[in-house]
Structure 1
Amino acid sequence: MGSNSFQLIFLILLFQLLYFTCIDYQFVSSAGTSKVGTCIETEKKALLKLKENLTDPSGRLSSWTDQENCCQWIGVSCDNKTGNVVKLDLRNTFSTNSELGGEINPSLLDLQKLTYLDLSMNNFGGIKVPEFIGQIGELRYLNLSGASLSGSVSSFLGNLSNLQVLDLNMYSEKPVENDLEWLKGLSFLEHLNLGGSDLSKANNSWLQTINAHVPSLLKLHLPQCQLLNLPSSLPSLDLTSLLVLDLSNNAFNSSIFPQWLFSLSNLVYLDLNSNNIFSELPDEFAKIISLEYLDVSSNYGINGPLKKSLGKLCNLTTLILSYNNISGDITDFIDVLSECQSNSLETLDLSFNELSGNLPAKLGHLRNLKLLQLRFNSLTGTIPETIGNLSSLESLYLTSNQMSGNLPTNIGQLTSLVSLDISDNMWEGIVTEAHFLNLSNLQEFSVGMKLGRNITLAFNISSNWTPPFKLTFLTIQSCQLGPKFPAWLKDQTELTSIIFNTGGISDAVPDWFVELDLKLDNLDIANNNLSGKVPNKFQFNFIANVDISMNLFEGPLPLWSSNITTLYLRDNLFSGPIPLNICGALPNLTDLDISMNNLNGTIPLCIGDMNQLTTLALDNNQLIGQIPDFWGKLPYLYWIDMSRNLLSGQIPTSLGSLAYLMLLRLSSNNLSEELPSSLSNCT
């Protein structure tokens, strides 16, 4: 090839580069917004007036000063040719400490070229939406969602004929009137969100009005709008451009999916969750081939099989069908879905249904899957070996099914896995290091049976093994972990929840475990044969739960931390009196069970100051003295067991003040005199 040819190619490439650069420049210029430029003085003064009436606790508007160019202020954008303010973005994206409040000054009307106004997620304390907003005729974008405003906007927002985006989601109790006729003036509207509006009186016309007057809509959000009617038909469908439809959390109580729904051929997002729809999933869903997100969860009445026709939706990234009554096998659906040339599914949630049968081998073909939720069904069989192909899988939940058999070691190949919950199934065999080999991202792991009696799954892991992960949440119940305390936890310094219930551990709590310096939300090592004294250095986060019941721990009662709310120490060998400072040490307790120990002495009077208590179990000890008369200060107490002690004297009349009392056991003591008549109040 000669030099002239190279020069020609170079010139063509240079021309293309200049051409596309020019196109990009023209696009930016037509958008007309920039932080650079000279602010118009009258508009600067208008913005300063706006600031004067606003409260700004975090100083978000500190750059708004008379000495600075207003086009460079936070939240302000100007036309880069004229200097007019065209965009005012005061959305709170931080926290409650940075919410703007106060009054909205009509000086906004001086921003004659304002096209974009966002006041969302602030706190204006319930003031009415100012009617002058309806006079900002150039507005194309208006977002007042979550701004704690009130009053109807129907009478004036209909004047904003250029509006393309209107978001009023949950900004007040009644952001719009029941009548939607005011939408007639918004024929260019592309995005409408009226979430939380009361449209109960527009039930027979809401869809017809929107269909007739805003046919250009691309996104329609009407969640929690008290809609009771899901129209079964339309004379003609004009919403053919609709991409997003959110009708969640209404109360349609419908026995059909309407046919017009399946004519929305461009739809990519459909949310119908929490609507009391009683129907099978129709095959017509397969017509919406562009669909990427489908949620019909929490209808409870969706029944019948999981149609294999849904598997033809090859563009689906999210399918949520949980909390329904879908039954039968999932094999046909998975098989069809797996045949998609470019399967996109990332989230599959079928939990809380009536699904049965085995997990199909072709599940391993869904290679983009990140979340697989199949909890609370009636699935059987084991986990297919092909599970190891799901290299993108981050969360796998198979909790509470009827699955059984050996766990495949291929689980250990799921390098992206963060959460693995396979508890409450009937697994068998041995768990070894191979099951965790490459789980470097694992943070949550749960296995075993909550109320298991027969241990069929055992852990055979070397005490010298160092896991590739750092767990935060670990639950192993009714599995053979022992007899030694699991030494492979030695470097698990990020644990916040530990449950080793019924683990066959016959050991003392090792020093290295205490020295991990964990701060726990949950500690459950109940129903083992752990012995010795309980370490007193355990640390707990606020609202912590502790259960070390049914072991062989001895010594005085451990009190640990004021953050503990439930404390179960029953069926151990603890001795000595109940500490007199128990109420000061554990002021947030809701449940206290110290039964079946060797405790003696009297019941401390300060227990009457633990006013959050709901259950109190002191039975099967050697407590003496009278039953204290402090029950009037424990308003939530519903369970009291002080049986099988050496208590004497009379039953206090204040027990009759416990309005929620359901169980009272005082048997096998040395009590005297009559039952107090006040107990008749415990209805």
Structure 2
Amino acid sequence: MLGIRVLLYFGFVAVLPALCHPHTICTLIQRTAMCNSLRLSSVPSNLPQHIEELFLNQNIILKLQTGCLSGYSSLRMLSCANCFLNAVDGQVFSNSPLIENLNFADNELHKEHNQFAQSLSSLTRLRILDISGNGLTEDMVSELLQNLTSLEYLDLSRNVLLRLDEYTFRDLHQLKELNLENNVLFEIDAAFDHLKKLRRLNLAFNSLPCLVKFEMTQLVVLNASHNLIEWFITNQDITETFDLETLDLSDNRLLYFPFLPTYNRIKTLLLPNNHIGFYSHLSQNSSLNWTNSVEFYNLGGNASNVTAELWRDDLQGDISSVQLLDISVNQVRYFPQGFLQKMPHLYWLRMRSNCLESLNLTGEELPVTVYELDVSNNRLAELHADSSSISELNNLTHLNLSLNNIQKLPPRVFTTFPSLSIVDFSYNTVGLCHPTELSNSNSSACAVWTNLSTLKQLHIAGCNLNKIPPLTFNGTPLTYLDLSNNPDLHIGQGCLSGLSGTLQHLGLSNTGLQDFNFSPFKQLRFLNISKNSISVLPISLMTLNLKLLDLRDNMLSTIKPEHATVLAKQVQIVYIEGNNFNCCQLEWYRTFEKSKNLHVADHLEVTCVDLHQQRLKAGLFNSVLCGGRSTDESIFWYILLFSSVGVSMVGVSIIYFLTFRPRLLPRVIKKKCWKPTTY
């Protein structure tokens, strides 16, 4: 790798412009010099002396030598990211004492870190330092950060830090934000205890096994996602209120809901992609003989042992301020009694891909503040709702119940939410009710979608629908309707009539559609009729001003030229692959290709079938191969015709000479070819 970089360096230096040229090649904007990607091998010396910001990113500056910045005493910001930089002289900043911001990301400063540390020690005003991606170890970092007492922002991401202790950041008393993302950290031993002003800490993409005795009360944002964390335990002895507002523990190995601070201000709690569950039901089964508590030892030299009663579901700490709870892709089978009610300010509850078996859509079960509820891909078989308390959820706007096994529900359950705007009910086994044919039963195998004045988007794909009763969507001003993946669906001409004035997006993919009159839907902009049995393009499509038309995987063999002309003017994006197009009837494709308005998004995948039943790329097919069946005139046939005529005329001439003037030809040959000999 070093050899390659050296070759690159000498290759670039050979074509460098002369730096002594009186006119700089950098771009100057007020007091900022932009010298990025100019193949520079050193800092330009001919820039204005008053510049305060100098950008040298993506050059080939292997070393910053003493004196290279001597002319820029007003410099406050220097950026040398991705410059192959491996050395910085100890006195390089001696004439630039005002520097506050250094960006040396993606270099090789681990090679000469001692000199680099010496150079940093002279920057008494340095507030921002980015040395990410430099191959630094914890020992190197500890040396580099000595005496940087003014530092407020530090980026150490993408290095090779393994372990942090109390000496690593010992002098950074003003530090407010620290980024340690993408290292190899597996242990943190009191490294942050004295960072009393630290507000944002990023530990993502490391190898931390746990976070215990957490007591950073001043922290506002903690990102510990993508680690190996099995336990998050706060020091429960601290009675002070934690300032923590965002806690990201996603993509770890958490077994239990995190043990949060007794008093906190957490608004965003992100826990997706873990193994979280609630286990109080196990303690009630006496035959299992489970222990009720577990003790944690060796939590650090100054940490006392921690005892937790595992089967108690009320140990999650204070969750009263949580506004967003994402616990998707875990193993939650149920919520403990009153768990959700402990979050009176909850707006977003995301429970995708868990093991929920029942759900009660009432104000007694859910906080009345809930705005978005996602319980898709669970094990729900029946939806419960109490009509007397369901109307209390007047803030619920987004509801996702897709990918469950719901077969029964209160038929008018969706009509009682006064603010419901988006519903995804796809891939459940519930039909569409005719509003006049409902029984008095509290549960039904169909749902009512009539007179929902606030509903704008409805997804009911893959629900085994076979018909849409008349007036199904009467009084519901849908702009988005997805009926895809209902292969036995019969769509009558009048069943969607109530949506003709509002519908903008219609999904009818894989519905067995052969023909349909789309002309009443003048507002339609996105239409998906892919994976059907359409052999002739519906004429009614010519009346629409579509932005997107999806015709993939149908039975089209061609498109009439006049229809192609109309579509090329009115449609913006079209998908057409997966049809059995005739290679000898591709006039429509050439029209699409020439259009400046229409974009064929999958033009590289569009194929056609030739005379020999071979499938070829439509864009590469030559119409000459169609023979007489092609409507295009080809110059090839004219060339062949004239060649045949020319050969025939030559033959006739030869026969004429041999027959009627036999002596003329030998005389001509003799004149041209006869030569005297030496006889």
**TM-score bucket (shorter structure):** 0.5 to 0.7
Give the C-alpha shift of residue 576 in structure 1.
Answer: 6.8
Quote the offset at 1:399 in angstroms: 0.4
Tell me how far 1:478 sits from its aligned partner: 0.9
In the TM superposition, residue 386 of structure 1 has moved relative to its aligned partner by 3.7
Aligned counterparts of 2:413 and 2:164: Cα–Cα separation in 1: 63
Q: Secondary structure of the equivalent of 2:320?
A: coil
> Which residue, 317, 323, 333 being the options, matches 1:370?
323
1:357 corresponds to: 278
For the residues of structure 2 that align with 1:186 and 1:545, how far apart are their CA atoms?
A: 65
When residues 375 and 627 of structure 1 are mapped into structure 2, their CA distance, relative to the original with a 3 A threshold, is farther
For residue 220 of structure 2, what is the aligned residue in structure 1?
292
For residues 10-29 of structure 1, what are the structure 2 equivalents within 5 Å? none
Aligned-partner SS, 1:253: coil
Please give the secondary structure, in 2, of the residue aligned with 1:270.
strand
| 2:249 maps to 1:321 | yes
Report % sequence identity: 13
Match of 1:399?
A: 352
Conserved? CA contact 1:418–1:444, under 8 Å = yes
- The whole-number CA distance in structure 2 between the counterparts of 1:372 and 1:462 is 24
1:281 aligns with 2:210: yes
Shift of 1:502: 1.3
Tell me the secondary structure at the aligned position of residue 616 of structure 2.
helix
Pick closer, same or farther for the CA change 1:322–1:592 going to 2, 3 Å: same
Give the AA of the match of 1:502: C
Does structure 1 residue 546 correspond to structure 2 residue 507? yes
Equivalent residues in 2 for 1:525-536, closer than 5 Å: 526-527=485-486, 531-533=491-493
Residues 1:208 and 2:142 aligned together: yes
- Aligned residue for 2:477? 516
Deviation, structure 1 residue 380 = 1.2
Deviation at 1:89, TM superposition (A): 11
Shift of 1:549: 3.6
One-letter amino acid of the structure 2 residue matched with residue 211 of structure 1? L
SS across alignment from 1:404: coil
Match of 1:577 in 2: 536
Any idea what SS the aligned residue of 2:492 has?
Answer: strand
Question: How much does 1:370 deviate?
Answer: 1.2
Distance 2:424 2:168 in 1: 56
Query: 2: CA distance between counterparts of 1:434 and 1:282?
Result: 44
Contact 1:165 1:189 in 2 (8 A): yes
- Secondary structure, in 3 states, of the residue corresponding to 2:214? helix
Q: TM-score, normalised by structure 2?
A: 0.58
User: How much does 1:369 deviate?
Assistant: 0.5
Equivalent position SS for 1:209: helix
Q: Secondary structure at the match of 1:409?
A: coil
Q: Distance in 1 between matches of 2:122 and 2:560?
A: 70
Partner of 1:247: 179
CA distance in 2, matches of 1:345, 1:553: 54
Cα deviations by residue, 1:606-657 (Å, 9 ceiling, x for unpaired): 8999997586267xxxx9x899789999996899999xxxx99641252699
Q: Map Cα deviations across residues 313-339 of structure 1 (whole Å, 9 max, x no partner).
A: 86232221112233x232xx44xx36x
2:7 corresponding residue in structure 1: none
Of 468, 491, 495, the residue aligned with 2:418 is 468
How far did residue 404 of structure 1 move? 1.2
Give, in angstroms, the shift of residue 211 of structure 1: 2.7
Structure 2 counterpart of 1:258, from 170, 188, 195: 188
How much does 1:511 deviate?
Answer: 8.6
- 8 Å contact 1:579–1:604 — kept in the other structure? no
Q: 1:458 aligns with which of 385, 392, 409?
A: 409
Counterpart in 2 of 1:555?
516
Aligned amino acid, residue 205 of structure 2: S
Say which structure is richer in strand.
Answer: 1
Question: Partner residue of 1:429?
Answer: 383
CA contact (8 A) 2:514 2:534 kept: no
| Whole-angstrom CA distance in 1 between matches of 2:474 and 2:319 | 40
SS at structure 1 position matched to 2:507? strand
CA distance in 2, matches of 1:375, 1:208: 39
The verdict on how the C-alpha distance between 1:160 and 1:191 changes in structure 2, with shifts beyond 3 A counting, is: farther
Deviation at 1:400, TM superposition (A): 0.3
Aligned partner of 2:153 in structure 1 is: 219
User: How far apart are 1:351 and its partner, in Å?
Assistant: 0.4
Aligned with 1:604 (options 553, 559, 580): 559
Distance 1:411 1:448 in 2: 23
Structure 2 counterpart of 1:5: none
Separation of aligned partners in 2, 1:185 and 1:296: 31
Structure 1 CA distance for aligned equivalents of residues 450 and 512 of structure 2:
22
| Aligned counterparts of 2:45 and 2:193: Cα–Cα separation in 1 | 43
Identify the residue that residue 79 of structure 1 maps to in structure 2.
none
1:654/1:501 CA distance change after superposition, 3 Å? closer
For each residue in 1:417-442, what CA deviation from the matched residue of structure 2 results, as whole angstroms up to 9, or x when unmatched? Answer: 33211111122332455675344444
Displacement of 1:592 after TM fit?
1.9
- Distance, in Å, in 2 between the alignment partners of 1:175 and 1:166 is 19
Gaps in structure 2 of 5+ consecutive residues: 1-26, 34-43, 281-312, 435-446, 594-599, 621-679
8 Å contact kept, 1:578–1:602: no
- Aligned position for 1:347: 268
Q: 1:408 to 1:560 in 2, by over 3 A?
A: closer
Amino acid across the alignment from 1:604:
I
Q: Separation in 2 of the partners of 1:416 and 1:169? A: 47
TM-score scaled by length of structure 1: 0.57
2: CA distance, partners of 1:365 / 1:516 = 42
User: What amino acid maps onto 2:400 in structure 1?
Assistant: S
In the TM superposition, residue 458 of structure 1 has moved relative to its aligned partner by 1.5
Do the aligned partners of residues 367 and 208 (structure 1) sit closer, same or farther apart at CA in structure 2, a change above 3 Å counting? same
User: What whole-Å deviation, never above 9, does each CA across 1:49-94 have from its counterpart, x for those lacking one?
Assistant: xxxx867xxxxx9xxxxxxxxxxxxxxxxxxxxxxxxxx999xxxx
The CA distance in 2 between the partners of 1:133 and 1:562, in whole Å, is: 62
Q: Which of 152, 160, 169 is matched with 1:228 structurally?
A: 160
What is aligned with 2:372?
A: 419
CA apart distance, 1:401: 0.5
How far did residue 289 of structure 1 move?
4.6
Choose 347-356 or 555-564, whichever is displaced more: 555-564
Change (3 A) 1:497 1:257: farther
Asked if 1:381 corresponds to 2:334, the answer is yes
Specify the alignment match of 2:21 in structure 1: none
One of 616, 621, 627 as aligned partner of 1:654: 616
- Please point out which of 117, 121, 127 is paired with 1:181: 117
Pairing 1:306–2:237 present: no
Counterpart-to-counterpart distance in 2, 1:192 and 1:176? 17
Pick from 236, 257, 270: which aligns with 2:201?
A: 270
